[in-house]
Structure 1
Amino acid sequence: MDAASLTLLSGLLHILCIQPVLCNGCHQVRQGCCVQCNPGYLLSKKCGRCIPCPVTGYTDKPNDKPFCQHCQRCEGIFHYVERCTPTRNAACTCMPGMRCTDDKCSQCETDRCSAGEELVGQNCNECPPGTFNTGAEHTCKAWKDCSALGGIIVTNGSRTSDVVCGEYNTKVTQSPGASEVPTTTTRVRLLSGPSPVGNHLQVIYIVVSAAAVLLLAVICVLCRQELTARIKQVFQRIKQAEEEESCECRSPVQEGGEESQPMTLEA
């Protein structure tokens, strides 16, 4: 057998020896031993075999570790975006009303952004031009349209405040002297459009009115029950008095239960 045949035979034997190891999750073989496992496996020995990660663990790249990384758990204020797999960690997000503080969502905070910002996804972005947020809302709102209110802009809006609208009020006054020049006075009257504060006051007014009506209804029911009870007592007393009066009008019963004998004259 020539040298070429020996080399080919040696190569075939080497492949036959290594193939079962590679098929067992092994990523790299050295001198017939597995020294590195595929993602999703752990190495049980230095020259051993690769074992799949448990359901609570994962490995996301080839490794020679005798353990798997622990899967992240999304509990409490966290919700699952992706479940853990043998080759990928779980992905979490925050419950509604809260947002993640970093890319890994290791912590949550309330989703209310600072003044001049609005929540877009999980991030706080600046209000677009022409809108504002005082910090009390989740989204930015458009500035008031002063022309639609029949006024002019008195104060420009910003990302944190609304436009202030107003209108000119011109008054001409004549001095007592005929030769005096009339005096013109111009004032600006502010115009108020719909605002969140007004809406909140309206809601409070409705709630207070409903509570007052409910309280009045409860008082009326209690008064009616008290009046009914008193009327019943009066009727019972009248009935009792009538019964006592009827008893007094009857003839008295004789003592001993004996009937009276008629009187006779002795002979």
Structure 2
Amino acid sequence: MCRQCEGLFQYSKRCSSTSDAECTCKEGYRCGGDGCTFCIRSCGVGQESTRSGCQACRYGTFNDQPNGSCKNWTMCSGNQVLEPGTPAKDVICKDASVNFTSVTTVPTTSLEIPFSITVPGKDVQTDTIRISLAVAGLSCIVFLLPLCICFSVWQKKKLHAVFKKMHTLEQSVQEDDACSCHFPEEEQGEYQNPGKSTELRDLLMN
């Protein structure tokens, strides 16, 4: 038995001995389900389909495609809105990177070389320079290391000699101070024994 296209349906292909009839929806409606089993009202731009039919997109949403669904407007950063949104159109934001000053540009052409130029022996020269620098660096290290060691040893010996000399000088100063301490006692003894001093002077005069 062939399918009957009635009501909101209309024939898109008639029934034949080899195939069944195919139905489509009348103008203002669109097919729903597999094989167009039912028809729903077609909704235009700025609308979306609901159970009760087509309904306009609520504030803050839009639909720019027929039989589409409503989507939220784009949120512009810092409320930089260039054009407000409508049920059929999204919000257009200001682009800070856009410069409206017209600039005249002169087209330039660049010369492209379809082949690469290689310099013979360039890699060999580079390797030779690197090896020479490495050898020079190692030579400096080998030469400077013994000098640093010798200088350190010489510095220690010099400091030891200076400390030894200072110690000897300090001992000699202490001995001089010890000797100088006896002279006042001798002078004091002379003043305490004036008789002995007089006798000694008489003996020397005779």
Give the TM-score of the pair, scaled to structure 2: 0.30
**Structure with greater Cα Rg:** 2
More helix by share: 2
More strand by share: 1
Structure with the greater relative contact order (CA < 8 A, sep ≥ 6): 1 or 2?
2
Give the TM-score of the pair, scaled to structure 1: 0.24
